Structure 1
């Protein structure tokens, strides 16, 4: 005995919604990374380099070929100073 196709419609709708949401989230992450694939398995060095690129270009995944840093970059220090106890 066959299964009526009306019984499979909810499963098709759910599968379609899962596929739509997966594609949407992937595209949103790609747009946030400037059209590049998302980074996976980043270590501390990668995070430092992403922060440096963000400070240089204003975008975390942006890169520049300029040999000189923009004006004001020397004052844009990423290191946090500790509060001294006096």
Structure 2
């Protein structure tokens, strides 16, 4: 005795919606990263370099090959100043 296809429709619908949601989230993450794949295991150095790239290009993952920084970048210091312990 076979299984009527009406019993499998909810499973097919759920599977389709999970697939659509996964593809949509992947596309949004791709757009947020400037068309590049998402980064994993980002340490302090990577965050610092990504912050520098964001200040130079406006994108978190953008990179530039100009040897001279844009005007005003010399005053846009990304380093954090430590608070005095005294």
Q: Could you tell me how far apart the structure 2 residues matched to 1:83 and 1:44 are?
A: 19
Equivalence for 2:27: 27
- The aligned residue for residue 53 of structure 1 is 53
Query: How many residues were matched structurally?
Result: 86
Q: What displacement does 1:81 show?
A: 3.2
* Larger RCO, structure (CA 8 Å, separation 6 or more): 2
Q: Which runs of 5+ in 2 are unaligned?
A: none
CA distance, structure 1, for counterparts of residue 37 and residue 78 of structure 2: 25
TM-score by length of 2: 0.91
- Moved segments of 4+, more than 4 Å: 82-85
Aligned ranges 1:1-86 → 2 under 5 Å: 1-82=1-82
**1:11-62 per-position Cα deviation (integer Å, ceiling 9, x unaligned):** 0000000000000000010011111101111111111110000011111111
For normalisation by structure 1, the TM-score amounts to: 0.91
More off after superposition, 26-35 vs 73-82: 73-82
